[in-house]
Amino acid sequence: MTGTAGYCPGTMVQPTAADLAKELQQRITMFHAGDELYSGAWLADFQKQGAVAWQVCVERLQVGVLKTCDQELAQAFCAQTLARLARAFTTWFPEPAIQQPARDSLEALLGIHARGQTLVWKQLSLALACAELWQGTWAAAAALGADSLPPAVRRELLVLPSELLFDEKALPLTDRQLRESAGASLFRSCESVFPFLVSGLAEDFVQDDDRREALRILASWLRAVRKSLLWLPGVDASSPLRHLGALGQHLLAAAQAAPKEAAEVAQQLAKWKGATHEAASVLKPLLGCIFAADEDCQAEFTPLWLLPLLSDLAEDFWPKAALGDVDLDWEAVARHAILALGRAAANFDGASGEPAGLEDAEAAISVWQTFAETLQSAVRAAESFSSSGSTETNPLYAPPPEKRSRRTHERWQLPAAKLAQARSLQLLFQLFAEKLLEHLRLPLVPEDEEALMALRAARAAAESALLPWAALAGNPRAWSEELLMPLRRVEASLAGLCTSGGEEFMTEDLARDIEVVLWFFGAVCNSMPEGCPGASDAAAAAGLAVQSLAPQLPGLDYAIPPWRALLWSSACSMAAAVNRCSASACDGGPVLLEWMLQRPPSEAGAPEMLEITELQYAKALEATCQRLPSGSAHPAAAVGERLFTLAFAEWDPASQQEERRVEVQACYLSALRFAMGGQPNLLCGFITDKVLPKLCQAADDEATRSLSSGSWAPNDEAGAPWPAHRMLFETLAALLPVGKPSAAAEHPSLPVWRQAWRYVEAALLSHPMEAASDQPMAAAAQALRRAGLHAPVLLPEVLRLLASSVRERGPEVQLKVLREIVVGVPCPPVDPSKAAELLDAAVSSAAETLLERAQELVTCPEDLAAFFALMAEAVRSSPPGVTGAGPCEDRLRPLLLTRRVFIGRCLHLVSVALPDCRSEMCARHMLRFVTRLISTEEASPAGHASLLSSTLTPLCAALFSALAAQDFLAEPEGLAEAGELILAALEALPEEFPAALSAGLGQVALPDHSKALLQQHVASRSEWSQKGHWLEQLQQIVVEWQSERHLNVL
């Protein structure tokens, strides 16, 4: 204890306060002098000494404010130690008799240091707030009445409880009474806290910095009060808003001086639940001040602070106001949402492609998406309420009928009839569409690939936003004059070019204007959901509009080559979207198919644009051919011949292929399959005679070169790996049946597949793989997947080959394909019992192979993730109340569960791999697998429960170790998987789980008080009415655990 070097972490054994006090100053000085290894470890252990460390720190701070540098550092460290220990206040001071003196000592220290170091009084304020929250005695009156403390300290004492209850590092208050006491104190204090913060802000002598600070604290306080309402059922949610509304003049004066901070206050009001009209009465004038500041803003770029507020308004108040349910100026909100979109798009001009501008544009577009999604949710809520009678179930918590009814009525319900009559929606969509057409045009330099990629990313965000809008406007009114007018202007412009007979060329500005309209119209058609009310009428309107435009599309040919290539590509994508919307829009089959076949990118006269346009064209052609109806007027042979030419005309087996070109050929072959699917004999005969021999020879040459020289390539040129094998596998896939899978054994593709089977086998079992792409194995595995799903007669051979490949090669690719087959195996026509037997054998065989080399598997997160993704899907059962939704109509799971030794080995692998797993996806798949195994509805419940019970303790230990160590498990997605596992075990094994929980925690290197937090939280599950709130509290516990594991010294 007295040496200054050679300290071993964890060796501080039962020191006395005097011992610690003697060495503390020296260790702090040495730590800040650079001795982070030994002195840092000593100081970290010091902070774990509980009441003894508390005593040392209190005594060191009682002497008052010290002035030397070393003394200031020591006092800062002591204040930080008290704050950390106070997070577990009742652990170090379990008896009420000693709690109050400890709390009073903090208050006294705060009075001593309130005018000293900022770091010291902030940490002491934090410690005091923690202690009072754990005691259940916190009240705002103490801070409000502490006239001897500086205003900054009083404000800190007010804001800390709101942060300690609901921020990322909130106290893990597992006791229900403590939570409710803190929430009630917050709620009651609004009447006095709001005037303390806001009164007087309208006075001229008040500094703007003081206004900003007051608004920041007010926003934090409102957030805490809003969230605490969840703990206080039955209170008047409008009461805090009335108190705030009474201070309107002062609030607005502060908002004018500090609009950014006022926007944070407005965000909390926009999220308020249970008192919509009262919140709107405060929010409406506040938004007026904020929006006025935005309009006066002379900055070139959109103020980033406004986008979060607009997004929050779009989640509730703005849609309600637009439908007349709330008194709020929805048009003003719309203007500023449009202003934000315009400014963001001006920053991202489509030419510079700057990442920051792109992010702003995507955020501004998402505001409009949120607005439409909110309306969708309200319509679904109304439909759900009318059809289900507000029935809600929860296996672990059954609220009384009156609470279920109240919760249902709290959700906004929007009748579809009212939505259809809302003129405001048409106006809003028109504004949104106009801004997209104005700002998402092609860059001025069309060859700028970086700018085009950035533009595509922005357009992808717009297409996501159009999805809910199209669902809202899924009736003929969606195809109103406002929407069709841009397309008609394009039609008129193209007609003029056609009339000129080539005497005029299309200008660049006109090309940009036409292209953005083609993109937008196609995006709207792509967004139209099938089956929504009026969808067929909307699809018919789209088809008629494009049918009217079709005679003028040759006018696109008059654009100069770079623009011509882009225009052709966009027109083809638009045609594919219209055909997706309704393949029967024209009696003659898909619209514009012949026009598309006549205008491949290779004939646009712009070879430099092929890298940008060729794959997009091929995908559009594939999508259009998917919509070819049976008996189409299009001659299948003629279409097939053109597609065959596109796929093979430029193919040279002696030269290297670009990766893009291989993908393009795959799309052409897929289009060929759909175009000639009705004539399989013709297709298979043509391919067998004209193509297959050359493909097989090219594949043989590749294999020979690989064996002799170690490379499949004929020369040193870079290119796509194994192009001949991949082309062969895509060609085989193009011969498979189209439409519903058939178990018939006479399809003409089957002999062709068996003839070429040796190539698939070799790719999966013996050919060397290209490390970056896993070719040719990846292409062979995907071809097997398609064969197994579309020609199920090949399923036994497919599964055997995949299982054999797992034994011989790296397993990730094969496991992913096995999972896709488990998910998609068609039952019927495949007999579910037969399919289950085949999959049971294949999955268990592949898994047993991997379990035999478990130590190697643990070191490869990609393989481990693929393995448990497969297992999680294979053991998936139907949701409660549903039958036949699991793999093979629920027949695969029981077969796998009869292999108890095998399942036990899988669970053991989880317990070994999970604690040190650094892959979020891998950890989530492992947790999901275990969760899906735990069930109370098994054919042999006793045997299954026995298996789970025997592995429950090591699984708990692994789970809790991972929660304490892996940061990603504190994030919502990972935490949800862990929480679902805990809840599933609690429900299925209520008698065994508490003991396993305790034993598992015993194997985790955490303080006992941290472990007790989880035990208390699990035991109190029935007190939480909503699982989401229970998970939020679990997240706070996990964050606390990880903070314990990553203890740092100031």
Q: Please provide the average confidence, as pLDDT, over all residues in the chain.
A: 86
Over range 677-704, report the average pLDDT.
Answer: 89
Residue 948: pLDDT band by 50, 70, 90 thresholds? Answer: confident
Tracing tokens 């990118």 back to the chain, one arrives at 601
Q: What is the rounded distance in angstroms from the CA atom of residue 725 to the CA atom of residue 777? A: 9
What is the model's pLDDT at position 708?
Answer: 78
Q: What is the rounded distance in angstroms from the CA atom of residue 725 to the CA atom of residue 520? A: 39
Give φ, ψ of 775 to 5 degrees: -85, 145
Which residues in 1022-1048 are b (16+ Cβ under 10 Å) and which e? eebeebeebbbbbbbbbbbbbbbeeee
Contacts of 821 (CB under 8 A, 6+ apart): 785, 788, 789, 795, 798, 799, 839
More confident residue, 375 or 16: 375
What is the model's pLDDT at position 303?
Answer: 55
- Give Cα separations from 391 to 380, 383, 637, 990 (angstroms): 15, 13, 56, 26
The gap between the terminal CA atoms of the chain, to the nearest Å, is 21
What is the model's pLDDT at position 200?
Answer: 80
What is the model's pLDDT at position 47?
Answer: 87
What is the model's pLDDT at position 808?
Answer: 87
Percent of the chain with pLDDT over 90: 51
Over range 99-118, report the average pLDDT.
Answer: 94
**Using one digit for the tens of pLDDT, what is the confidence trace for 140-149?**
988 888 888 9
Q: What is the rounded distance in angstroms from the CA atom of residue 206 to the CA atom of residue 254? A: 10
Residues β-bridged to residue 775: 770
Contact, 103 vs 132, CB < 8 A?
A: yes
Tracing tokens 């005497």 back to the chain, one arrives at 503
**Computed from CA positions of residues 150, 152, 158, 164, in that sequence, does the dihedral angle turn out positive or negative?**
negative
**Using one digit for the tens of pLDDT, what is the confidence trace for 477-488?**
545 666 788 999
**Using one digit for the tens of pLDDT, what is the confidence trace for 508-528?**
999 999 999 999 999 988 888
- Look at residue 405 and tell me whether its pLDDT is greater than 70: no
Contact, 973 vs 925, CB < 8 A?
A: no
Alpha helices in 136-247 (DSSP H): 140-144, 151-166, 176-198, 208-228, 239-245
Q: What is the rounded distance in angstroms from the CA atom of residue 144 to the CA atom of residue 123? A: 19
Q: What is the rounded distance in angstroms from the CA atom of residue 984 to the CA atom of residue 1002? A: 21
Which of these ranges, 314-318, 499-503, 542-546, 666-670, has the smallest mean pLDDT? 499-503
Over range 87-101, report the average pLDDT.
Answer: 92
Other CB atoms within a 10 A radius of the CB of residue 992 amount to 17
Contact, 806 vs 764, CB < 8 A?
A: no
**Using one digit for the tens of pLDDT, what is the confidence trace for 432-479?**
999 999 989 998 888 887 888 888 889 999 999 999 988 886 555 545
Show the tokens assigned to 459. 């357009």
pTM of the model: 0.86
- CA-based nearest residue to 810, from 757, 773, 758, 756: 773
Residue 1046: pLDDT band by 50, 70, 90 thresholds? Answer: low
Contact, 149 vs 110, CB < 8 A?
A: yes
Q: What is the rounded distance in angstroms from the CA atom of residue 348 to the CA atom of residue 343? A: 9
What is the model's pLDDT at position 446?
Answer: 83
Residue 576: pLDDT band by 50, 70, 90 thresholds? Answer: very high
- Look at residue 12 and tell me whether its pLDDT is greater than 60: no
- Look at residue 1040 and tell me whether its pLDDT is greater than 80: yes
Contact, 951 vs 911, CB < 8 A?
A: yes
**Using one digit for the tens of pLDDT, what is the confidence trace for 869-893?**
999 999 999 888 888 889 999 999 9
- Look at residue 633 and tell me whether its pLDDT is greater than 70: no
Percent of the chain with pLDDT over 70: 89
**Using one digit for the tens of pLDDT, what is the confidence trace for 290-312?**
998 877 764 433 456 789 999 99
What is the residue-wise DSSP string for 953-1007?
A: HHHHHHHHHHHHH-GGGGSHHHHHHHHHHHHHHHHH-TTTHHHHHHHHHHTS-S-
Contact, 898 vs 948, CB < 8 A?
A: no
Which residues in 331-353 are b (16+ Cβ under 10 Å) and which e? ebbbebbbbbbebbbbbbbbbbb
Residue 637: pLDDT band by 50, 70, 90 thresholds? Answer: confident
What is the model's pLDDT at position 479?
Answer: 53
Contact, 839 vs 849, CB < 8 A?
A: no
Q: What is the rounded distance in angstroms from the CA atom of residue 877 to the CA atom of residue 938? A: 10
What is the model's pLDDT at position 630?
Answer: 60
Over range 380-391, report the average pLDDT.
Answer: 66
- Give Cα separations from 606 to 165, 350, 410, 564, 586 (angstroms): 62, 21, 59, 8, 32
**Phi-psi domain of 531 (left: phi exceeds 0; alpha: psi -120 through 50; beta: other):** left
- Look at residue 202 and tell me whether its pLDDT is greater than 90: no
- Look at residue 694 and tell me whether its pLDDT is greater than 80: yes
- Look at residue 980 and tell me whether its pLDDT is greater than 50: yes
- Look at residue 224 and tell me whether its pLDDT is greater than 50: yes
What is the model's pLDDT at position 299?
Answer: 44
The amino acid occupying position 983 is L
For helices 920-933 and 900-913, give the axis angle rounded to 10 degrees: 140
- Look at residue 579 and tell me whether its pLDDT is greater than 80: yes
What is the model's pLDDT at position 393?
Answer: 40
Count of residues in the chain = 1050
Tracing tokens 């923690």 back to the chain, one arrives at 130
What is the model's pLDDT at position 398?
Answer: 39
Residue 372: pLDDT band by 50, 70, 90 thresholds? Answer: very high
**Using one digit for the tens of pLDDT, what is the confidence trace for 883-940?**
888 999 999 999 999 998 999 999 999 999 999 999 999 999 999 999 999 876 654 5
- Look at residue 210 and tell me whether its pLDDT is greater than 70: yes
What is the model's pLDDT at position 404?
Answer: 40
SS3 of residue 946 by DSSP: helix
More confident residue, 406 or 718: 718
- Look at residue 402 and tell me whether its pLDDT is greater than 80: no
- Look at residue 214 and tell me whether its pLDDT is greater than 50: yes
- Look at residue 7 and tell me whether its pLDDT is greater than 60: no
- CA-based nearest residue to 660, from 575, 720, 721: 720
**Using one digit for the tens of pLDDT, what is the confidence trace for 33-63?**
888 788 888 888 898 888 999 999 999 999 9
Which of these ranges, 222-226, 277-281, 353-357, 764-768, has the smallest mean pLDDT? 353-357
User: CA dihedral defined by 716, 718, 724, 730, rounded to 10 degrees?
Assistant: 170
Which of these ranges, 313-327, 335-349, 975-989, has the smallest mean pLDDT? 335-349
What is the residue-wise DSSP string for 8-56?
A: -TT---S--HHHHHHHHHHHHHHHHTT-TTHHHHHHHHHTTSTHHHHHH
What is the model's pLDDT at position 587?
Answer: 52
- Look at residue 503 and tell me whether its pLDDT is greater than 70: no
